[in-house]
Amino acid sequence: MNPVVVVTLEVNGTRQQVEIEPRTLLADVLREKFSAKGTHLGCEHGVCGACTVLLDGEPVRSCLTLAAQAAGHRVETVESLAEPDGSLNELQGAFQKHHGLQCGFCTPGILMSLTALFRTTQHPSEDQIREFIQGHICRCTGYQQMIEAALDVSEHAGSAR
Amino acid sequence: MKPSVFEYHSPETTEEALGLLGELGADAKVLAGGQSLMPLLNLRLTAPGHLIDINRIPELRESARMNGTLRLGATTRHQDLGRRADIADCCPLLREAAVYIGHPQIRTRGTLGGSLAHADPSAELPAVAVALDATVVVRSVRGERRVSAADFFTYHLTTDLDEDELVVAVDFPVAGPRQGSAFGEVAARFGDFAMVGAAAVIRLGEDGKVEDARIVCSSVAGTPKRVPEAEDVLRGQEAAAVLGEVEGAVARTLDPAPQPKVSAGYKRRTAAVLARRAVESACQSALRRMS
Amino acid sequence: MIGEPLVRREDLRLLRGLGQYVDDIDLPGVAHLAVVRSPHPHARILAIRTEEANRMPGVLGVYTAADIEPINGRWPVHLPHKGLRAAVERILPTDKTRYVGEAVAFVVAESRYLAEDACAQVEVEYEPLPGAGTWQIALNLGEAIHEGNPDNVAAHVTQTTGDVEAALRSAPHVLHETYRIRRGGGHSMEGRATAARYDASLDTYVVWDATQTPHGARRFLATCYGIPEERFRVIAPPDVGGGFGPKGQRYPEEMAVPWLSKQLGRPVKFIEDRYEHFLTSCMEHPQEHVVDVAFDDDGVLLGLKDVFVSDMGAYGTSLIVPTIAGCTVPGPYRIPNLHIEFTAVFTNKVPQSAVRGAGRPQGVYVMDRTIDRIADYLGLDPAEVRFRNLIQADQFPYPVGLTFRDGSPLTYDSGDFPELLQKGLDLIDYPAQRKLQAERRAAGAYRGIGISVGLEGVGLGPFEGATVRLETTGRATVVLGAPPQGQGFQTTYAQICAEFLGLDVDQIDVVTGDTSLIPYGTGTFASRVMANAGPALATAASEVKTKLLESAASLLEAAPEDLEVSEGQVRVRGMQQGVSLAEVAQASNVGRPGMSMAKDMVPGLTASAYFNPERAGYSSSVQVCVVEVDPETGEVEIVDWAVGHDCGRIVNPLLVEGQVLGGIAHGLSNALYEEALYADDGTPLTVSYLDYPIPSAREMPWIKLYNQETPSPLNPLGVKGAGEAGTLGVPAVIAAAVEDALRPFGIQIRDCPLSPGFIGDLVDEARTRAAADDDRGPDDQGS
């Protein structure tokens, strides 16, 4: 029998106990045990960034994190971003407005990284935005429209909606 | 790909971790940040029977300033190297190099100790540790020992660590008032593995001439390569006057092996250029610190 | 509607992480496929032992070629060509493996983790054979990669027009050059993925396939399984994470998964990981072009001969990539004498397929570099030489004299190339850029400017179709056979339908890529869907509108020509009251049970239409790029970049902008970053993103976009294609700009990509040459 561990994870505010093989990646547990399929696996070696989630508010690769390591920490995924009534939050709305996504596969990871950025920096510059998402690969968009989206949020942050 | 089967241990004290290493050593790997180890596990390039996660050990995260030394715990995150004021003040080279380490999402997890123990010749921190003349603090059930950074890296992806040993901290000499440092690298994309890199730590005399220099190149050999011949060129001189000779000495001394897409000649020449630029920049930062 | 920059509706689910990619689809009881893959570039399979693997935890089955014999026949040739000695594949090879990563056996288990564990226990005995990592080695390998083909040549194709030899003999000037161009893999962020469930009650396989060609997949499955197509429902899910070409091909796992699901009585899925994508998803392999060009003192082209080699990889069932490359070479220029000849060669690498651009960037590179050589040789401005040769706006339709990859005569439909080029030069302020270049050079920097003008064949046939239905809810449904992988079909096709049917965009739902919902389809590739499905949809929507008005006229007792569709109603023009769309649909689609319909009522408010273009259309693009090169490190910085694009009439400018920008990023990746490396025997050396860079937002500069719309006469909408446009000229323009930047060193660029290592070595060689020649080298102090 392969070894198993029982861990309690907190994902988007919900706690759940899961029994898993310790080698199970956090990304797989999110997708399979928490039905949080918005987190995608693009490379499983930490480069593409599609799997990026927030761990205690910091962006991490969920493909390079064992689910067992997340016990005792707060995990936030793309499913936590929308408003309670399901409408898009400001960042998501800006992405739609500026066409900052095409196939959408890399998008959740980028949204999570930008969410972390905007929590610490209310008005990031274009350079700061590009540097913060340098750890993401998008094959569809060429990034320009998603940078416009992020700059839109940066410029209007703090003003009335 | 997914990792092979392993048993997972998550000790909460250093002693516990050392005990596990003592017992399981050969068949165990230490999991710190995981940014280097997890890709290897996921690609099944390594398949240890046991993983010892050291992220829950508070002692390994701690740092201390003692007598001209800044001790950083092994699980100090790359991100902290770039953000903390005490590190910026005591060892600015760490902050300079940190921006080149992968990407922000890697730096939230990757650790100082992990990077040194992994000993990738193209990584930034091993070269920086040698350039700063750091000391690696190593512990096992058999006791503690201290290894100079220069002696710690023995071969490509190999260190002086025994199977049952753990890096617990790294001691960095605190930068003096006339010290400057700089780091540069060339990579395919910013943050990727360096094709070639160079670190320079310069101490100036009161007269603005070079009193001491440490020049270390990364990604030109199996381990970080210090270039004493170039350092000798600088000693007692005004750096700006001998930059060309510094570059020449580095180019003459290095003998790198080629990589796919990167010829040996390119590594040699470009390491020399980066060393020259790092020396120039380090001297400028030393002068700024002095004024 | 058409022409409006509407935001996309698909974003509402994608931004919330609610997309439905194949791996997200809920399939209770699903089992996971992993694959035992050959570690050798070329090897005979001697024996396979599966007993150990079968005993591993969670294993449901281990399958070798012998086990899948009923479906393991030879695959049909994808696109037969009289010159092609097609080499055929099976799902699992029975004799030998021909590239590293080729599937040798399948393992199905309760999880991917457990399936991989079991794969490691399958023992395969191989007899390694000599392998070829390049076409040169393959030609001299002395070992046939495919039986009966000892020289490893897959095809030799020549196309000519005029008399190029005469032109070369008599021309005032002739230049000879060789260009080596590499591209790479698709690297959609979602890899390949196929899931299937066998429904015993319907004796039907339901297959969710992240494919660009669901109807093609269905046909292929039917052939492999020897059963009718109707036994398969292939669905490309609403969300596919990028395609770019490789997902239009057929693959072993894709063919096996449905059969395995029937064998096991459970759904089965295969989710390709990135390592597998590197090894086994088709890609574009290197080409080497030997070019002779004839021209006069004014730089006017008199003739061009391009003899090139295309590396095919281990199997070849079409000549799409080299054919397109060759046909793209002449580009936007008047060239009376042409000779395009290629040899396609098998090597021990993953089979070649088109990747966004599909051979066009290579063709554009050849022509742009050739023009630049001419300009250099004659001391003329490269923009000026282009203007002197460009096809003029009044010369359409312009016959090139070759046959395009779609089998029709290569004829350009519309465009205004001089105008497009001038706009680009104006946007970037070319004269000012040349002044600035001189100033930067004087300051010791190495700045260069590159220009590219390229054409791409788009809107290929054979056809594409659309069905429109007005539902009893009053909403409309559009059904397309072609599926999207991020292009925004749910938005753009709603716009087209709205324009022709009269409903609001928000009242229209677009459904795509399901072979059970529309019987015929070709697929999404080669920038072809808008030019085919667009007109088809316009026709179908118009027909439904006619029926709608007739039925509404019956209800309103009016004449159809007096009616209009507005705000969810049909009413007499100028009147307030009318009848709701739902009411008309109810009357037409349902009626009253057993009762005769009213006079003139049309039963069923639905229509299907298929559009088959006469031939391919041509989109055009211009790129002007300014770079600075650090000669000490070989690093390239992009300082300014203008890209102009003409894809005919634009349906949604916001989305077209995204397509062009995405293509530019892909092109830049090919120009400076990606390089798939192989050892001499064909063993791949770059198998992860750790050594295969794709640019991030940090590497991408800000692009200045502009566009032009010359409608296509080939379809009533005037639309062309935009999906690949951005890629076209990037390798060429970057090579030109870098060469121009390094002009003081006398460096010539003939290669792609241009990594820092490559450029650094070129500079070093030039410096060494200069020193050896005892010339005064360039003043190159510091950075």
User: Do residues C376 and C524 share a domain?
Assistant: no
Helix locations, C669-729, DSSP H: none
H/E stretch holding C21 reads none
Quick check: B267 and B219 in contact, CB under 8 A? yes
Q: Which chains touch C (3 or more CB pairs under 8 A)?
A: A, B
User: Do residues C583 and C436 share a domain?
Assistant: no
Asked if the Cβ–Cβ distance from A46 to B106 is below 8 Å, we say: yes
- CA dist A136 and A133 (Å) reads 6
User: Do residues C408 and C486 share a domain?
Assistant: no
Residue C698 lies in a domain: yes
Using CB atoms within 10 Å of the CB of residue C761, give its burial: 0 to 12 exposed, 13 to 18 middle, 19+ buried.
middle
- In order, the DSSP letters of C464-499 are EEEEEEE-TTS-EEEEESSPPSSS-HHHHHHHHHHH
Specify the 3-state DSSP secondary structure of C706: strand
Domain CATH number, residue B210? 3.30.390.50
Residue C348 lies in a domain: no
Residue B43 with chain A: CB contacts under 8 Å: 44-45
Asked if the Cβ–Cβ distance from C113 to B2 is below 8 Å, we say: yes
Domain CATH number, residue C731? 3.30.365.10
Q: On the CB side of C771, how many CA atoms lie within 13 Å of its CA?
A: 6
User: Do residues C113 and C15 share a domain?
Assistant: yes
Residue B248 lies in a domain: yes
Residues shown for chain B? 291
Q: How many other CB atoms are found less than 10 A from the CB of residue B66?
A: 9
Residue C82's pLDDT is what? 75
**Beta-carbon contacts of residue C737 (< 8 Å; ≥ 6 apart):** C448, C449, C450, C625, C626, C627
Handedness of CA A6, A7, A12, A15 (dihedral sign): positive
User: Do residues C602 and C632 share a domain?
Assistant: no
Instruction: Give the burial string for A72-97 (b: 16+ CB within 10 Å, else e).
Output: ebebbbbbbbbeeeeebbebbbbbbb
Asked if the Cβ–Cβ distance from B3 to A23 is below 8 Å, we say: yes
Which amino acid is present at C227?
I
User: Do residues B212 and B253 share a domain?
Assistant: yes
Asked if the Cβ–Cβ distance from A66 to B10 is below 8 Å, we say: no
User: Do residues C580 and C689 share a domain?
Assistant: no
Distance in Å, alpha carbon of B110 to nearest chain A alpha carbon: 10
Rg of chain A over Cα atoms, rounded to whole angstroms, equals 16
Residue C409's pLDDT is what? 87
Tell me the average pLDDT across A23-42: 97
User: Do residues C569 and C597 share a domain?
Assistant: yes
Interchain CB contact of B186 with C (< 8 Å): yes
Q: Say what the pTM is.
A: 0.97
User: Do residues C647 and C730 share a domain?
Assistant: yes
Residue C571's pLDDT is what? 94
Residues shown for chain C? 783
Residue B9 lies in a domain: no
Specify the 3-state DSSP secondary structure of C450: strand
Q: How many inter-chain contacts (A to C, CB under 8 Å) are there?
A: 180
- CA dist B35 and A60 (Å) reads 10
Interface test with C, best of B99, B105, B193, B270 (most C CBs within 10 A): B270
Interchain CB contact of C699 with B (< 8 Å): yes
**Beta-carbon contacts of residue B110 (< 8 Å; ≥ 6 apart):** B33, B35, B36, B77, B78, B101, B102
User: Do residues B258 and B197 share a domain?
Assistant: yes
Residue B198 lies in a domain: yes
User: Do residues B266 and B168 share a domain?
Assistant: no
Residue C778's pLDDT is what? 58
- Domain end residue (candidates: B146, B173, B200): B173
- Domain end residue (candidates: B173, B201, B220): B173
Instruction: Tell me the per-residue pLDDT of B215-263, one tens digit each, with 9 for 90 and over.
Output: 999 999 999 999 999 999 999 999 999 999 999 999 999 999 999 889 9
Helix, strand, coil distribution of chain C in percent, nearest 5:
30, 25, 40
Quick check: B75 and B111 in contact, CB under 8 A? yes
CA distances from A71 to A17, A18, A80, C386 (A): 10, 10, 19, 64
Instruction: Tell me the per-residue pLDDT of A101-122, one tens digit each, with 9 for 90 and over.
Output: 999 999 999 999 999 999 999 9
Instruction: Tell me the per-residue pLDDT of B128-184, one tens digit each, with 9 for 90 and over.
Output: 999 999 999 999 999 999 999 999 999 999 999 999 999 999 999 999 999 999 999
- In order, the DSSP letters of C576-622 are S-EEEHHHHHIIIII--TTPPPPTTPPS--EEEEEE--SS-EEEEEE
Q: How many other CB atoms are found less than 10 A from the CB of residue C742?
A: 22
Using CB atoms within 10 Å of the CB of residue A139, give its burial: 0 to 12 exposed, 13 to 18 middle, 19+ buried.
buried
Which amino acid is present at C198?
Y
User: Do residues C674 and C750 share a domain?
Assistant: yes
Interface test with B, best of C33, C633, C674, C781 (most B CBs within 10 A): C633
Residue C774's pLDDT is what? 67
Distance in Å, alpha carbon of A136 to nearest chain C alpha carbon: 6
Domain CATH number, residue B138? 3.30.465.10
User: Do residues C561 and C646 share a domain?
Assistant: no
The range of the structural domain enclosing residue B200 comes to 179-290
Please list the ranges in chain C whose pLDDT falls under 70: 774-783
Rounded to 5°, angle at Cα C83 from C81 and C84: 65
Count: domains in chain B:
2
Nearest to B260 among C635, C677, C690 (CB): C677
CA distances from C548 to B48, C493, C573, C594 (A): 69, 19, 15, 22
The range of the structural domain enclosing residue C96 comes to 11-129+186-280
Quick check: C36 and C119 in contact, CB under 8 A? yes
Asked if the Cβ–Cβ distance from B79 to A58 is below 8 Å, we say: yes
**Under the phi-then-psi rule, with left for phi > 0, alpha for psi from -120 to 50, and beta for the rest, what region is B217?**
beta
Q: Is the model's pLDDT at A160 over the cut of 80? A: no
User: Do residues C405 and C470 share a domain?
Assistant: no
**Under the phi-then-psi rule, with left for phi > 0, alpha for psi from -120 to 50, and beta for the rest, what region is C312?**
alpha
Asked if the Cβ–Cβ distance from A45 to C689 is below 8 Å, we say: yes
Interface test with B, best of A7, A23, A73, A119 (most B CBs within 10 A): A23
Count: domains in chain C:
3
User: Do residues B148 and B92 share a domain?
Assistant: yes
Indicate the DSSP class of residue B258. P
Residue with tokens 């058999």: B142
User: Do residues C452 and C486 share a domain?
Assistant: no
